Chain A
């Protein structure tokens, strides 16, 4: 366990170095702004992946926490109730409280029923954000969100947010990796495979379900908070059903059983989308977005057929392939 956490820390540190250096190597705002989205969505996908893959909770309300976090921050900052830098903390607390209050009854449901209830939660949040236009600015979105300023430093450029989003992403990753590798994480993973056995080991399943649900909601809320300062807008369409589908794709394509699956999934899905958008233009000049969706669909089907465990499952198998190749070579040499 200790060597595993050591490995985690080394790989996070290595990844952080790459993230810090990347904007110096790859020039241009485009790269930075896309990587920004990767980080934000990775935070969401990690939370969803943890709930679905480790805790066995199909929670579809994840985009709602993202939206709620964005609106709490946005409203408080736009109306000048709080300085911008303080709002993410209020967001985190607010989203945490709502998730706790909602989670306590909803988490009594299992599998598809939980999925239905959390989907309803997402739809309610989304409708509320669109309809409460006095508070939220309605479908046109909440305008007038000020520049995020921390100790006099203004987060104005994409690059500033790049570092902020990736810091959030890596901190969340580190936290969740530690958690999964602890007594708490083992408790969470245990009831996914057998609730009865888990309870008879003294694990208060309801409590840990709530913990996981609230914790990942808070992370999503923080991501929403950062996002609203990045685009200086909070708008219902940024956390509607399509976001849920995108997150699902990230989780499944990346691989559901590992935490870094969500990170890889976020990288893969967003860059694939960008790639299709940029290159399909050249071939199908008149109907880009439809063609994009079709190609997206095909690629996802191919991935799921050939890599049912997602990209991480596939990457995890590379060492054993290498070993087999090596052994084959050894036997043929004899």
Chain B
């Protein structure tokens, strides 16, 4: 909102490959509860990064804090060369960070196509007067948005359901629609919150394909997930949280062997 909060990141320029996204010392507490404690890591475009951890580890809180739903208590979040920590969600979205939700949070009462069209909002400014008077420019824009949204639905394989209400979709398709809607923002970085949760095996395979395709097109990904086979197969880098603390970071092979991670998941002593 104010320019003073948007400082340029110097950190990002010091490393070889520039990270798309970087958090340093991110902390969030709700009253006395420490939900995130001094989290730091970098996210590179080349690596699909996964954020894992047992229930209550702070994964969703992490997304909510960096995407502007919650204010961080302290720490910095660099994205697009700016510190976006504390920016409201809609401004973060405008910078090219899009997210999905664990429980889809689709716009009920709208059709599938309209949901995706809302996603086109960031790239399409329409004034209230030009919309109300339906000026030629608005007509043209509406037509373009509709076509774009339809393309995205096609890409994701939901084009045959375009005119259905979202409440009629089965869970797997609702999840995919959540991704489609986020995709419509044409983001630089996409944060998926449990995209594979509750999906059948063939749907997970479809999702994996989709993520790979988008990655090739230059989109960066951070995925929060519980489905371990999915995570191990798709990610190049894994960050593990437990009780709001980062306990490990590395490629999947390393994380699989990490004693602390095993302990966090299985509990007790090993």
Where the two chains meet, the residues of A that have a C-beta atom closer than 8 Å to any C-beta of B are 1-2, 5, 175-176, 178-179, 181-187, 189-190, 192-194, 196-205, 211, 215, 257
A184 & B126 in contact (Cβ 8 Å cutoff): yes
B109 & A199 in contact (Cβ 8 Å cutoff): no
- Residues on B with C-beta less than 8 A from A184 are 126-128, 131-132
| Partner among A179, A187, A204, A257 whose Cβ is within 8 Å of the Cβ of B132 | A179
Query: By CB atoms of chain A within 10 A, which of B88, B134, B142 has the most?
Result: B134
| Partner among A200, A202, A204, A211 whose Cβ is within 8 Å of the Cβ of B128 | A211
- Residues on A with C-beta less than 8 A from B67 are 200
A202 & B185 in contact (Cβ 8 Å cutoff): yes
A202 & B109 in contact (Cβ 8 Å cutoff): no
- The segment from B4-12, B36-44, B114-122, B228-236 found at the interface with A is B114-122
Query: Does B242 lie at the interface of the complex (its beta carbon under 8 Å from any beta carbon of A)?
Result: no
Query: Does B110 lie at the interface of the complex (its beta carbon under 8 Å from any beta carbon of A)?
Result: yes
Q: A199 and B68 in contact (CB under 8 A), knowing A186-B110, A193-B107, A257-B109?
A: yes
Q: Is the interface of A mostly helix, strand, loop or mixed?
A: helix
- Residues on B with C-beta less than 8 A from A194 are 105-107
| Partner among A190, A199, A202, A215 whose Cβ is within 8 Å of the Cβ of B110 | A190
Q: How far is the CA of A176 from the CA of B109 in the complex (A)?
A: 18
Q: A200 and B131 in contact (CB under 8 A), knowing A183-B124, A186-B110, A194-B105?
A: no
- The segment from B17-25, B93-101, B219-227, B252-260 found at the interface with A is B93-101
Query: By CB atoms of chain B within 10 A, which of A176, A184, A257 has the most?
Result: A184
Q: Is the interface of B mostly helix, strand, loop or mixed?
A: helix
Query: Does B3 lie at the interface of the complex (its beta carbon under 8 Å from any beta carbon of A)?
Result: no
- Residues on A with C-beta less than 8 A from B118 are 186-187, 190, 198, 201, 203
Least distance between A208 CB and chain B CB atoms (Å): 9
Q: How far is the CA of A200 from the CA of B69 in the complex (A)?
A: 8
A175 & B132 in contact (Cβ 8 Å cutoff): yes
- Residues on A with C-beta less than 8 A from B127 are 184
Q: How far is the CA of A192 from the CA of B110 in the complex (A)?
A: 11
Report, as a range, how many residues of chain B touch the other chain: 35 or more
Task: List 25 A-B residue pairs with CB atoms under 8 Å apart, sorted by A's residue number.
Answer: A175-B133, A178-B131, A178-B132, A179-B128, A179-B131, A183-B117, A183-B131, A184-B128, A185-B131, A187-B118, A193-B107, A193-B110, A198-B118, A200-B69, A200-B89, A200-B90, A201-B90, A201-B98, A202-B90, A202-B93, A202-B185, A204-B88, A211-B128, A215-B128, A215-B132
Q: Which 10 residue pairs are nearest across A and B when measured between Cβ atoms?
A: A202-B93, A202-B122, A199-B89, A182-B131, A197-B105, A183-B126, A175-B132, A178-B134, A184-B131, A194-B105
Least distance between B169 CB and chain A CB atoms (Å): 15
B138: nearest chain-A partner, CB-CB: A182
| Partner among A1, A182, A189 whose Cβ is within 8 Å of the Cβ of B109 | A189
A200 & B107 in contact (Cβ 8 Å cutoff): no
Least distance between A280 CB and chain B CB atoms (Å): 39
- Residues on B with C-beta less than 8 A from A185 are 131
Q: How far is the CA of A148 from the CA of B44 in the complex (A)?
A: 68
B126 & A197 in contact (Cβ 8 Å cutoff): no
A215: nearest chain-B partner, CB-CB: B128
- Residues on B with C-beta less than 8 A from A186 are 110, 114, 117-118, 121
Query: Does B108 lie at the interface of the complex (its beta carbon under 8 Å from any beta carbon of A)?
Result: yes
Query: Does B141 lie at the interface of the complex (its beta carbon under 8 Å from any beta carbon of A)?
Result: yes
B145 & A183 in contact (Cβ 8 Å cutoff): yes
Q: How far is the CA of A186 from the CA of B138 in the complex (A)?
A: 14
Where the two chains meet, the residues of B that have a C-beta atom closer than 8 Å to any C-beta of A are 67-69, 88-90, 92-94, 98-99, 101, 105-110, 114, 117-122, 124, 126-128, 131-134, 138-139, 141-143, 145-146, 181, 185
| Partner among A176, A196, A201, A215 whose Cβ is within 8 Å of the Cβ of B121 | A201
Q: How far is the CA of A54 from the CA of B254 in the complex (A)?
A: 51
Query: By CB atoms of chain B within 10 A, which of A175, A189, A190 has the most?
Result: A190
- Residues on A with C-beta less than 8 A from B105 are 194, 196-197
- Residues on B with C-beta less than 8 A from A178 are 131-134
Q: How far is the CA of A1 from the CA of B140 in the complex (A)?
A: 11
| Partner among B106, B122, B143 whose Cβ is within 8 Å of the Cβ of A197 | B106
Q: How far is the CA of A103 from the CA of B131 in the complex (A)?
A: 22
Q: How far is the CA of A201 from the CA of B94 in the complex (A)?
A: 8
- Residues on B with C-beta less than 8 A from A189 are 107, 109-110
- Residues on B with C-beta less than 8 A from A190 are 107, 110, 118
A5 & B134 in contact (Cβ 8 Å cutoff): yes
- Residues on B with C-beta less than 8 A from A176 are 132
Least distance between B142 CB and chain A CB atoms (Å): 5
Q: How far is the CA of A176 from the CA of B124 in the complex (A)?
A: 19
Q: How far is the CA of A309 from the CA of B118 in the complex (A)?
A: 25
Least distance between B180 CB and chain A CB atoms (Å): 12
- Residues on B with C-beta less than 8 A from A5 are 134
- Residues on B with C-beta less than 8 A from A204 are 88, 90
Least distance between A105 CB and chain B CB atoms (Å): 17
Q: How far is the CA of A315 from the CA of B99 in the complex (A)?
A: 39
A5: nearest chain-B partner, CB-CB: B134
B109 & A193 in contact (Cβ 8 Å cutoff): yes
- Residues on B with C-beta less than 8 A from A202 are 90, 93-94, 121-122, 185
